[in-house]
Amino acid sequence: MLPNQDSGQICKILIIDDELTTRLILKKKLEDEQYQVQVANNGQEGIVIAQKFDPDLIICDWMMPLLNGLEVCQKIKADPQLDGTFFILLTGREEVSDRVTGLDSGADEFLCKPIDINELKARVRAGLRISRLNRQLKATNEKLNLVNKQLNVRNELLQSLSMTDAMTGLLNRRALDQSLPHLLAQVGKRDGYQIHYRYICIFMMDVDYFKRVNDNYGHKIGDYVLKFLAQRLQANVRPNSSVYRYGGEEIVCVTQGIHPKNVLDYGESLRKAIADYPFKVSADLQLAITISLGGAIASDAHAFTPHDLLHQADLALYQAKHDGRNCVRFSSQAELLIKTHAGSS
C-alpha cells in the first residue's frame, strides 16, 4: 500500500491558485506521488469544486482576486461537509501577525513562497494523516449520534409503553399518578406569565355489572368490551381531557379548564356515549353496556391533593352505584359549585 493511500482509497487534493505556473507545478509533483489532484484558478471556483470533489486536503494561495485565501478557508471551515479538511495556506508573508490572522481564519498549516517541493510533500503527508483522523473522528461521532438517537427513540418507546395500558391503549394508573400532581399544580388564577386553569374536573367511571359480562360470555368478550369502551370514550371526550385505565373496569377522565356549569352535561354525554349504543360483539351478539360516573372538581378556591381528589370522585361513584347505576353523581363540594354557577353565562 502506498503511503498516500488509506485502505485502498487514493487521497484527494485540491489546489487553488490564480497563477497557472504554480498550479501546474504543484499538480504534477503531487500526481507523481499518486495523489488524485484537481485545480481551481480562483477562490469561488475552488469552493464549488471542493463541494463536489470532497478533497482530503486543500492547498490555497493567500493573495487571489474575487476571494482571497483567508475567505476561502473561512467558507470551507464553515461547511459541515468540508470542515475537517486539512487546509494549507500558501503565502509570501512571514510576519507573525499574518500567521495569527491565517490561523484565526481556520488554516491548519502554512507554506511560504517560493515553495520547497520536499517541504510541500512532507507537509501534505502530515496534513493527510490529520485529515484522515478528522474524518474517522467525524464518522465515529456520526455513528455515536445515530446510536444515541436510536437509544432515545427506544427509551421514549419504553417510557410510552410503561405509561400505556396494553389492552385498551389508554394511559395507565402509573401515568395518572405522575401527571395528576402536575395538572393540579396548574389550577389557579392566571398570572400573565403561565397558563392556569380555574377548574379541573375528574370523573371516576366504572362499567356496570361487568362481572356478569365475564361470567356469562368469558373474559375474551370482557376484554373486547373494555377495549371498545375505551375507544368510544376517547372519541367523545372534550379537548384538554386525558383518559386513564385506573384498574380493572375503572376508568378516570381528567379535564382541564371545564367550567362547573358544564360538567353535568359533559358527564351525561360520556354516559350516553356508552349507554345509547349497544356494543356489537359479533353478528349474533350485541351487549347493552352502561357506566356509572362519579365526579369531583378542583378549583382555585378548593385545592385538593391527587389522593383527595380521586377519593372524592370515588365516593361520588359509589353514590352513583347506590342510586341505581347508569348515572352521574358529584361530590358534595362539586355539587355546590355546580349549583352556584347554574344559569351563569
Catalytic residue numbers read 249
CA–CA separation, 22 vs 24, rounded Å?
A: 6
Whole-angstrom CA distances from 35 to 1, 27, 160 are 13, 9, 53
Cβ count within 10 A of residue 196: 15
Burial of 329 (0-12, 13-18, 19+ CB in 10 A): buried
- Spatial contact of 229 and 281, defined as CB atoms under 8 Å apart: no
Nearest CA to 300 among 202, 201, 199, 203? 199
Nearest CA to 225 among 236, 215, 239? 215
- Spatial contact of 246 and 176, defined as CB atoms under 8 Å apart: yes
Residues 76-115 as b/e (b if ≥16 CB within 10 A, e otherwise) read bbeeeebebbbbbbbbebeeeebeeebeebbbbbbbeeeb
The DSSP code sequence of 232-278 is: HHHHHPPTTEEEEEEETTEEEEEEES--HHHHHHHHHHHHHHHHTS-
